[in-house]
Amino acid sequence: MDTPDVIVKDIMSEDVVVVFPDTSLVDAAKLLSHHKFNGLPVVNEENKLAGIITEYDLITNGTMMHIPTLQKIWKDATGERETKNSELRGEVDKIMDFCVKDVMNKEPMTILETTSYEEALKIFASHHRVNPIPVLNEKQELVGVISRIDILKPLMKAR
């Protein structure tokens, strides 16, 4: 396949759904689920990338943060320990209070919009867990994301 002139900007998704550091984990999870995304860029007020939150982050970092809370809830639910309903409610509230900034990857892999298709393909091939990758312009502003499905676009057009 010949793609010498294709750059990331040509195949990236420009309509990016973003979250902010103070977005609740529950809201971020709802957005991931609703849009069927693997990850969401996290931006500050100036549209500068602050991080990324992925399904992986929610499962690993999010769960690890509140395993003691979940264990307490489980014990209460199974009758292993008696606790007042207000205590249980307080434990659930702790989970509900977590924000994106508590579990996001603060140093995500990024790619410039001018990166060649071949280089982007190499990045995805060598970093299996990374998806999507935030795309930045020369001012380091978020201008899009590129995902594995975007990488396949030139291959699909070739057929």
**pLDDT for position 78:** 54
CATH class (in words) of the domain with range 8-158: alpha beta
Phi, psi angles (nearest 5°) of residue 75 = -60, -40
Mean pLDDT of 136-158: 89
**pLDDT for position 55:** 86
Written as six digits, the tokens of 12 are 């990236």
**pLDDT for position 111:** 97
Mean pLDDT of 25-38: 88
Confidence of residue 158 (pLDDT cuts 50, 70, 90): low
Which tens digits make up the pLDDT trace of 91-146?
666 667 789 999 899 999 999 999 999 999 999 999 877 889 999 999 999 999 99
Q: Nearest-CA neighbor of 145 among 101, 116, 103, 109?
A: 109
Mean pLDDT of 21-44: 91
Q: Which residues lie closer than 8 Å to 114 by C-beta, 6 or more apart?
A: 7, 8, 9, 138
The domains of the chain are located at: 8-158
Mean pLDDT of 16-39: 91
Which tens digits make up the pLDDT trace of 44-103?
998 899 999 998 887 776 555 554 554 555 555 555 555 556 665 666 666 677 899 998
Sheet holding 133-136, edge to edge: 111-112, 133-136, 142-146
